[in-house]
Every structure is written in structure tokens, then in C-alpha cells.
Amino acid sequence: MPSFHHQKTGKCLTVAGHPIRFSIYAAGAKPQHTRMLASNPWRCMELALNQNGKSDADCLAYLRQAHDFHVASEAAKATARPLLMYYSFLNLAKMLIKSKVPSLDLTHAIHGIAEPPGNSQSDRFTLTSQ
């Protein structure tokens, strides 16, 4: 996930001659700050995780993996796209849970498919030559 550190110069936005302060939140008559406008939501989530110079490595890993699945889904065919989006949202959910409860161990959060111990190809197949 690319980080954008360059700034662009621009003009101050004014309404009726009054400058408008920048805010990442949607504006309204009485702003409630319940919605955020962003051209790059992935970068906003990364910045939110890095607030105060502290970030959880697991949260960032979940976010980056979610981003990678999302990017892959955009290039995938229609038959594979839903599965990639599922894993993207799954990792976003894990990132959110881990960011709210840092002490929670998500290393054993699995999807339900497991391979029995000792299950290897050498146990199931025998190669012979003629």
C-alpha cells in the first residue's frame, strides 16, 4: 500500500469571502462528524492506525493484506472477485477488532478448514516405477 507524503500547493477555498478550514469530515449546517470524505480510504485507515506515532504491527498487517486482496479483486474475473472481496473485508474486520481490543489474540482466528496432523502426500500415495 503506497504512502503519500508529498503535498500539493493550492488555493485557499473561500465562501462569501470567508476561508474554509480543511476537515476530513463531511460538512453540513451542524457537522456531526459521522461521515468522512476520502479519495484514498486505505491511506486514511493507515493514518488512523498510526495516530500519536504508535501503531500495532498486526493491525497494519491486516490492513495491508485487506488492501492487497482488494487490489487483486479489481483485476480478477467475476467468478473469483467475491472470494477476494470476502478476504479483504475479513482482514478489515480483524484490523478493526484488533485496534479496539489490542490484547485480543487473533492468531487462531481461522476459516474452518483444517488439515489433520500427519496428512501428507507421502502417506496417501506410493510411487512405483515399472
Mean of all residue pLDDT scores within the chain = 79
Q: Are 79 and 105 in contact (CB under 8 A)?
A: no
Mean pLDDT computed over 22-51: 73
For residue 125 the three cell numbers come to: 500415495
Residue 51, Ramachandran bin (φ over 0: left; ψ between -120 and 50: alpha; else beta):
beta
pLDDT band, very low/low/confident/very high, at 61 (cuts 50, 70, 90): very high
Mean pLDDT computed over 102-128: 70
Domain segments of the chain: what residues?
A: 55-104
Per-residue pLDDT reduced to its tens digit, 66-112: 999 999 999 999 999 999 999 999 999 999 999 888 888 887 777 66
pLDDT, position 14:
79
The full DSSP string for 1-43 is ----------PPPEETTEEPPP-SBPP-SS-----B--S-HHH
Q: What's the N-to-C CA distance of the chain in angstroms?
A: 53
pLDDT band, very low/low/confident/very high, at 12 (cuts 50, 70, 90): confident
Other C-beta atoms within 10 Å of 30: how many? 4
